[in-house]
Amino acid sequence: MSEDDATTDEQADADSDGADSGEGVVRRDRFAGGPAREFMSSLDADRRIFEADLAVDRAHTLMLAEQEIIEEDTAGEILAALDDIEEAVESEGYGAVLSEGEDVHEAIETAVIERVGPEGGRMHTARSRNDEVATCIRYRLREDVIAVLEAVAETREVLVEAAEEHSETLLPGYTHLQPAQPITVGFWLASYEAALARDASRLLDAFTRINESPLGAAAFAGTTFDVDRQHAAALLGFDGIVENAMDAVSTRDFLLETAGALSGLSVTLSGIAEDLVVYSNRGFVDLDDDYASTSSIMPQKKNPDSLELVRAVAGDAAGAHQALATTLTGLPRSYNRDLQRAGPHVWNVIDDVADAVDVAGGAIATAEWNEETCAAAAGEGFSTATGVADLLAQSGVPFRTAHEVVAVAAEDVAALEDDQTAGGAADPDAAIDVLDDAAHAVLGESITDAVEESALRSALDPTESVASRDSAGGPAPSAVEDAIESAKASLEDDLIAIVATRKGLEGAQERLESGVSEYV
């Protein structure tokens, strides 16, 4: 994926003559045999953009013919050669067919010239490998981004379905990994669906800037040929072009933006994974065997290995984002060979993130929640304390004073829990006695002078406590149901956008194939 000035017809003829003498078709090997040749080569790494390069070659060749820059017969021969190369790679393998050249672009052009003769070099008229590779990267990246978006949408569907099923399943809520307030499994699931929805939004937004074509910018200063950049872009399914030719070949900000969005997505996934690891440890959830493994020496163990790997992907994604930013920092404008090492940072992580999305979604879809264990744990640690303080405040006690009453009682309520053999929330009668003592100490009166005993019992009950928190976005089943409906609507909108984008690219591919068929 290296720099190359736009090639004229005369240059193509000269380059093909070089092929007969054993020199490179595109760049004569002035330093043949030196270690830099292999160091500079990206041919093996370019496997990922092989199909993209074929598409770009076809679109560019069609445009050249339609603009009468090259003859129709020549275009037909080039397009037929590209078909032959594609078939050969499918049957013989990439390395067997494309071995001549320092990158896939040169290798394909060399293979075309081998089949067509010197006229094959005309396919490179009015372009450089600078605009060619930039276009190929965008062409392939948008496919990968759509695939990730589809995977995220499926996982969001899983979260929504599970949240509906468990909108009333109690679960302890933690802050600082300490019991805080009772919530529900559905509430927890809905929180991650909301986060994934934002991750999807960032990727969809990044896609709009990926889907712009640099093709026709040539080396960096445009071309003297009467090219139709917009038509070539449309043949490849791009929404438009990167207007400024220097910007078109120089910028990799679309890679940086995508890497950032992937890093954010991986952080969300790491949170899901970590919570499931903790919940599994505490007996709240049983992971399916497909998402766990046993110890090689301790047969009783069931380890959440797959989720630990999901958690680790976030580090890889953050590293790739930082590495890419460092590579791009301080580069002078126009093409620099440093850019050859930019793409792999994103290629390496996008596959891992896509896999992590599938694993996280699969783990949730197949998980079994231990509802009795969750319900018992939901009341531990005097998790309903905030509800009692809220109740006192609603009766007219200043909240800070109400907070003090409950804080004074908290240690003794926790002791009541410790005295129980079955675990769970403290016996409500005993808890009310402790709260009454605290109220006398702080307020100078019985707690039942401030609130009804029935209301106090309700506040102490984890199920009732959750049900009372029905503010927008709260854990009450009614609030979770509202959140689920909003999530469904948001997901439907995103699915429509993803499907439309996929169909748009498929339609462009069909039009490109149709255009090629008129010449071949």
Domain-ending residue, one of 75, 106, 125: 125
Q: Evaluate whether residue 275 is within a structural domain.
A: yes
What pLDDT shows up at residue 17?
A: 40
Among residues 24, 46, 257, the alpha carbon closest in space to that of 133 is found at 46
Asked if pLDDT for residue 375 goes beyond 60, the answer is yes
User: Do 142 and 96 fall within a single domain?
Assistant: no
User: Do 116 and 222 fall within a single domain?
Assistant: no
* Tens digits of residue pLDDT in 97-155: 887 667 888 889 999 999 999 999 999 999 999 999 999 999 999 999 999 999 999 99
User: Do 214 and 179 fall within a single domain?
Assistant: yes
Q: Evaluate whether residue 457 is within a structural domain.
A: yes
User: Do 279 and 140 fall within a single domain?
Assistant: yes
Q: Which of 176, 471, 514, 517 is catalytic?
A: 176
- Extended strands (E) in 143-283: 170-175, 178-184, 212-213, 240-241
Residues in contact with 500: Cβ distance below 8 Å, sequence separation at least 6, in sequence order: none
* Tens digits of residue pLDDT in 205-244: 999 999 999 999 999 999 999 999 999 999 999 999 999 9
Mean pLDDT, range 339-343, rounded to an integer: 91
User: Do 209 and 305 fall within a single domain?
Assistant: yes
Higher pLDDT, 422 or 440: 440
Mean pLDDT, range 68-76, rounded to an integer: 97
Contact criterion met (CB below 8 Å) for 108 and 82: yes
Parent domain of 152:
134-189+196-231+251-371
User: Do 290 and 426 fall within a single domain?
Assistant: no
**CA–CA separation, 280 vs 304, rounded Å?**
8
CATH of the domain at 362: 1.20.200.10
User: Do 80 and 221 fall within a single domain?
Assistant: no
User: Do 410 and 447 fall within a single domain?
Assistant: yes
Contact criterion met (CB below 8 Å) for 58 and 512: yes
**CA–CA separation, 436 vs 453, rounded Å?**
11
Asked if pLDDT for residue 299 goes beyond 90, the answer is no
Asked if pLDDT for residue 470 goes beyond 50, the answer is yes
**pLDDT, mean over the chain:** 90
What pLDDT shows up at residue 29?
A: 55
Asked if pLDDT for residue 6 goes beyond 60, the answer is no
Contact criterion met (CB below 8 Å) for 271 and 241: no
Q: How confident is the model at residue 12 (pLDDT cuts 50, 70, 90)?
A: very low
The burial of 176, by beta-carbon neighbours within 10 Å (0-12 exposed, 13-18 middle, 19 or more buried), is given as exposed
What pLDDT shows up at residue 14?
A: 37
- Percentage, residues of the chain above pLDDT 70: 91
Whether residue 105 lies in the annotated active site: no
Mean pLDDT, range 323-347, rounded to an integer: 93
Q: Crossing angle of helices 385-394/453-460, nearest 10°? A: 150
- Extended strands (E) in 11-141: none
Domain-ending residue, one of 346, 371, 396: 371
Higher pLDDT, 300 or 71: 71
What pLDDT shows up at residue 69?
A: 98
Mean pLDDT, range 160-176, rounded to an integer: 97
Q: How confident is the model at residue 418 (pLDDT cuts 50, 70, 90)?
A: confident
User: Do 158 and 281 fall within a single domain?
Assistant: yes
Whether residue 321 lies in the annotated active site: no
β pairing state of 212-213 and 240-241: parallel
Asked if pLDDT for residue 428 goes beyond 50, the answer is yes
Higher pLDDT, 170 or 107: 170
Residue 206 CA: distances (Å) to CA of 49, 141, 142, 256, 259: 20, 11, 9, 10, 10
What pLDDT shows up at residue 510?
A: 97
Asked if pLDDT for residue 341 goes beyond 60, the answer is yes
What pLDDT shows up at residue 288?
A: 94
What pLDDT shows up at residue 68?
A: 97
pTM: 0.89
Domains identified in the chain, total number: 3
User: Do 367 and 418 fall within a single domain?
Assistant: no
User: Do 331 and 202 fall within a single domain?
Assistant: yes
Q: How confident is the model at residue 20 (pLDDT cuts 50, 70, 90)?
A: very low
Q: Evaluate whether residue 103 is within a structural domain.
A: yes
What is residue 117's three-state secondary structure?
coil
Asked if pLDDT for residue 19 goes beyond 70, the answer is no
- Percentage, residues of the chain above pLDDT 90: 79
Domain-ending residue, one of 312, 341, 371: 371
Q: Evaluate whether residue 203 is within a structural domain.
A: yes
Q: Evaluate whether residue 237 is within a structural domain.
A: no
Q: Which of 2, 99, 128, 295 is catalytic?
A: 295
What pLDDT shows up at residue 37?
A: 54
